[in-house]
Amino acid sequence: MAKYKTDQDDILFTLNDVLNVSRHEKYGFDKNSVKEILIEQDKWVENEVWPTRESSDAEGVKMTEQGVKVPENLHKATRGYYEMGWFALGMPESVGGTPVPEALAGACRALGIAANTAWSMYPGLTKGAFSVIRMVGDDYLKSTCIEKMITGQWGGTMCLTEAGAGSDVGALKSTAKPIEGKKNWYKVTGTKIFISSGESDLYENNIHLVLARTPGAEEGTKGISLFAVPRFKFTEDGSVGESNDVKCTSFEHKMGIHASATCVMNFGDNDNCEGYLVGKEFEGMQNMFIMMNEARLDCGMQGEAQANLAFELTRQYVNERVQFKQEIVHHPDVKKMMLKMRAMSRGMRALILYTADVIDMAHEDSKYENLLGFLTPLCKSFCSEQGFNVSVDAVQAHGGYGYCTEYGVEQFVRDTKIATIYEGTNGIQAIDYLTRKVLKDQGKTLTEVMEMITSDLSKSEAEFATQKTQFERALGAAQKAIGFITEKAQAKNMSMTLQAAKDFLDLSAHLVVAWRLLSAANVAQSQLTSGEGNKEYLESKIVDYKIYCSQYLPQVWAHSKAIIEAEEDFSLLSV
Amino acid sequence: MAKYKTDQDDILFTLNDVLNVSRHEKYGFDKNSVKEILIEQDKWVENEVWPTRESSDAEGVKMTEQGVKVPENLHKATRGYYEMGWFALGMPESVGGTPVPEALAGACRALGIAANTAWSMYPGLTKGAFSVIRMVGDDYLKSTCIEKMITGQWGGTMCLTEAGAGSDVGALKSTAKPIEGKKNWYKVTGTKIFISSGESDLYENNIHLVLARTPGAEEGTKGISLFAVPRFKFTEDGSVGESNDVKCTSFEHKMGIHASATCVMNFGDNDNCEGYLVGKEFEGMQNMFIMMNEARLDCGMQGEAQANLAFELTRQYVNERVQFKQEIVHHPDVKKMMLKMRAMSRGMRALILYTADVIDMAHEDSKYENLLGFLTPLCKSFCSEQGFNVSVDAVQAHGGYGYCTEYGVEQFVRDTKIATIYEGTNGIQAIDYLTRKVLKDQGKTLTEVMEMITSDLSKSEAEFATQKTQFERALGAAQKAIGFITEKAQAKNMSMTLQAAKDFLDLSAHLVVAWRLLSAANVAQSQLTSGEGNKEYLESKIVDYKIYCSQYLPQVWAHSKAIIEAEEDFSLLSV
């Protein structure tokens, strides 16, 4: 298999030259510190995480009498991740973290995700649970959990899904009954499925954030509350207490992420499971969304990061493998595939890092919150799906070798696929995007994004005249789709509105990704003109943008047509 | 997991009503006999093959002291396949076969392929090798092998690939030296890789068709000859002889088709491997193409058939799984996904069965040989790729369950992927299609196909007026792409010609598939008008055509734009 390689040039150009993350002054970061941190994390990932990827996939998780055990080689990587301070990167100082610009924190996190996605789930879920406790937990919960979690002694999970409640979280049946005389403590009962990192021997305790219903709660999501349910009971001195009647009864055998334990978790089989209320009663869904929004961005990152790494490995292969007396990269079909893979992979990275930067913008000015909400489902859905597609192309470019386990490429296909499903399927993302992020504010955020695109297009250099035409045609096609959907929504035809959702999300994401590549190409062009920077790299950024415009933007037109020309209300058709 | 289900209505409608395969009078088949055979084979596959699928995937092949062993449950299925006469279906009477229309034989073969693709590789490769021996083997070879192979005592393989010769078959280094005093016998030496069914305990002997170079042969494909190399030497009484110095030294661990042994085969390590010349010296490639063209159609079938089965399983799931208080099929996004999956799956089936029918047409009138050559790479590339995509959608529609091994759906994704790679990668198919099937005859066959499409469009009922417009727009976009490519080819810009190949193949395949669905919709419409047939099914055929036109034909425009608007010669760009 090819050598681990990160396109550091592209990450640093995006962070420093396109986004200029140093402008968030509160962090006191300059371009050099951005570079140093990124390079250091990359080196650590290469040495500590990447070597665990294939063997941990082959080994998988195991059930033992002591519970679920992860592949042995994940222990060292996990310990190192905490000890080196990588887990704490991007977290506030108040909880022992190292604040850095969000986009830098994201870029660093993406490296570990790319190198072993299954492994990254353990600290990833812990980070999500940690954020919820930090933001809405009360003083008791924070004082009990924060230090244990940021140091990696304790892990965390999110427990939403039940057998009859997947996308429909509101249908869940787990219950929580107040314990008399123990304020905020509840007896929790229920069975949760598909719980990533549900149990492992990586942490001495696990804090499960469990959604459950309190007595008399109304039906649906409004009656749901959130509880912190430790695997082992809390003790006053912080040591590991007795069992809290939380048990992983089995785990799933899956297509990929074999090293990530996807558990069936039983809470309170012996009526001895206690959970502590997180935030207010009945605000469980909105509090869980703190974690879910982070997790959705991370899902997009799973697609983006694995795509970028798969591209780098494939780049090496096609430049070495000789057929017909030349390296196969020189065969036009392979060249085109590689150019498209690069444009898509870097385009996704540009979208993800921009979105991470918008988190900082939203902290500084709440007017950006809508933009963040708008971008989140695009990142989650589009990058998970296109990340999968790039992984599939990586296999294809490797030919028969790509299909063999030994080369480690097919693992990207198996590992990326789950990101299109969990944290809300991409179909759910599309509905969220169309109804809550576009229609709910009468297209205000969408219009603002369109205006930013148009503004950057007008700034684009004369050299990009062809691309400007291509982009404007795509924008025109998008406008037609928006017109059609708006008409159906105003006529309250929800079926025809929603059947357009996925195409509309994809169409929007193509525009936003092309826009991010345009921004990058504009910067690259001006650096080339002034003679700054690495010429070869900068030229490749111009190629990325051109390739995206000619090879991917036609999809905007195709999605628009698919929306508009669906003659019928599909709900009237049977399958 | 859902219950095995075949869309018999659609297969029989395609065979009997659209293609009318009974018109090939030499077979003496009427519509009822077509139906009986199909239903009988389907029942057998359901009972004997389908139950082996998941367990044989979990078990995989094993290396033992006696060589490669396949999962135990494949033995019974394989024996039954021969004993019931399914292997001999569609073969000439002269070799002990049961002649039936090619499209019927194909439809039957597809059932076994769908139910366990890995298993189907063993009789599948044997069938290919059998065809070569039957068609170009001399009397000695035929009298030695034919009966043994059609009864399933002996198997067969094709041995092309070597470590340095994958797509570039002409680079192979295996050698064959004439044995003095033994006419047509050669000493064979070399190592072949990626040999499907290379070794197994299903057959008492295996006939390897090996490409090798004779002394003094010229470089490239013109210097290649074909040899029948048995695993165990032939004996006069037909019993299994001593080892022929053929050894499987290892097999690949792969993403999917775990029950199919993908072998590294060593020939002549001890200088004791003898092969018998098949056909004439230096005509190895063209003779191997007898097998490869069959295998390419079967690759398409692997995509098509698995897609259709995956669709049927998913259809059951979405009609049973309840979320938000209704079966998820009623959620607009799921409904749309299902409608698209059905249109694509049935569209691929229509293409495959039509192509199989063209084999019969070409036997009856050689003018159809070009059409067959034209359709073969479309079947192979498009159906393998879209079959994979439908499988991915099947996982998606199953949500988290789709990702779990237990449901058997993710296996479709893993098992279909290889079909885009072996038998000539889809990139190679695209080059074959564009250069040999389109440009070489100055677009004559392509023009004939376009004319057949136009003719059927003009016959299409008034009800399909919208689709006619959509189709004509797609044809217009295709014409522009053809114009662009022709211009580049005439200017001898091979790089820009070939970089268009894959998009052009996909564009062409969309048109041909839409055309086959149009033909079916025309027949369905006229049966509906006259009150014949199953109304619900016939209406679904009209929906398939409409969905294809509105949801997939926009891709023709997108591919055309991707071809035309690629500003640059990609060979000048580096990745």
Residue B270 burial (10 A CB sphere; 0-12, 13-18, 19+): exposed
Task: Give the minimum alpha-carbon distance from B257 to chain A in angstroms, rounded to a whole number.
Answer: 10
Q: Is B324 on the interface with A (CB under 8 A)?
A: yes
User: Does A565 sit within 8 Å of B427, measured CB to CB?
Assistant: no
Task: State both tokens at B31.
Answer: 């519509």
User: Does A334 sit within 8 Å of B427, measured CB to CB?
Assistant: yes
Task: Judge whether residue B1 has pLDDT over 80.
Answer: no
- Pairing between β-strand A246-251 and β-strand A322-323 as defined by DSSP bridges: unpaired
Average pLDDT over chain B, rounded to whole?
96
- Active-site residues of B: which are they? 423
The chain A residue lying nearest B567, using CA atoms, is: A550
- B396 contact residues in A (CB cutoff 8 A): 420-421, 425-427
User: Does A315 sit within 8 Å of B396, measured CB to CB?
Assistant: no
State the residue range of the domain holding B185: 154-283
Q: Is A98 on the interface with B (CB under 8 A)?
A: no
Task: State both tokens at A107.
Answer: 């870029």
Collect the ranges in chain A with pLDDT lower than 50.
Answer: none
Q: Which of A338, A396, A570 sits opposite B335 (nearest CB)?
A: A570
Averaged pLDDT for residues B322-328: 93
Question: Which of A254, A282, A310 is where one domain is finished?
Answer: A282
Whether residue B327 lies inside any domain: the answer is no
b/e map B318-356, b = 16+ CB within 10 Å = bbebebeeeebbbbbbbbbbbbbbbbbbbbbbbbbbbbb
Is the ipTM reported for this complex over the cut 0.90? Answer: yes
Whether residue A512 lies inside any domain: the answer is yes
B157-179, pLDDT tens digit by residue?
999 999 989 889 999 999 999 99
Question: Which of A238, A264, A282 is where one domain is finished?
Answer: A282
Q: Please state the domain count of chain B.
A: 2
Distances from the Cα of B143 to the Cαs of A392, B125, B237, B310, B350, in angstroms? 45, 20, 12, 42, 38
Whether residue B294 lies inside any domain: the answer is no
Question: Which of B283, B299, B326 is where one domain is finished?
Answer: B283
Whether residue A353 lies inside any domain: the answer is no
The pLDDT of residue B414 is 98
CB A279 within 8 A of CB A229: no
Averaged pLDDT for residues B184-209: 97
User: Does A571 sit within 8 Å of B399, measured CB to CB?
Assistant: no
Q: Is B462 on the interface with A (CB under 8 A)?
A: no
Whether residue A394 lies inside any domain: the answer is no
User: Does A406 sit within 8 Å of B417, measured CB to CB?
Assistant: no
Q: Is B27 on the interface with A (CB under 8 A)?
A: no
The pLDDT of residue A363 is 95
pTM of the predicted model as reported, rounded to 2 decimal places: 0.97
The chain A residue lying nearest B196, using CA atoms, is: A400
Q: What is the CATH number of the domain that holds A171?
A: 2.40.110.20
User: Does A562 sit within 8 Å of B396, measured CB to CB?
Assistant: no
For residue B507, which of B456, B558, B550 has the smallest C-alpha distance? B558
CB A434 within 8 A of CB A504: yes
CA gap A390, A233 in Å, rounded: 45
Q: What is the CATH number of the domain that holds A477?
A: 1.20.140
Q: Which of A339, A554, A570 sits opposite B336 (nearest CB)?
A: A570
Q: Which of A168, A414, A496 sits opposite B323 (nearest CB)?
A: A168
Q: Is A258 on the interface with B (CB under 8 A)?
A: no
B16-40, pLDDT tens digit by residue?
999 999 999 999 999 999 999 999 9
Instruction: Tell me the residues of chain B between 484 and 503 that have a Cβ less than 8 Å away from chain A.
Output: 494-499, 501-502
Q: Is A120 helix (H, G, I), strand (E, B) or coil?
A: helix
- B551 contact residues in A (CB cutoff 8 A): 562, 566
Q: Is B326 on the interface with A (CB under 8 A)?
A: no
Task: Give the minimum alpha-carbon distance from B251 to chain A in angstroms, rounded to a whole number.
Answer: 10
Task: State both tokens at B359.
Answer: 């084999």
CB A562 within 8 A of CB A503: yes
- From the list A83, A423, A451, A532, the catalytic residue is A423
User: Does A410 sit within 8 Å of B400, measured CB to CB?
Assistant: no
Q: Which of A194, A331, A427 sits opposite B334 (nearest CB)?
A: A427
Helices vs. strands in chain B: H and E counts, helices first: 20, 12
Averaged pLDDT for residues B63-77: 97
The pLDDT of residue A344 is 98
B380-407, pLDDT tens digit by residue?
999 999 999 999 999 999 999 999 999 9
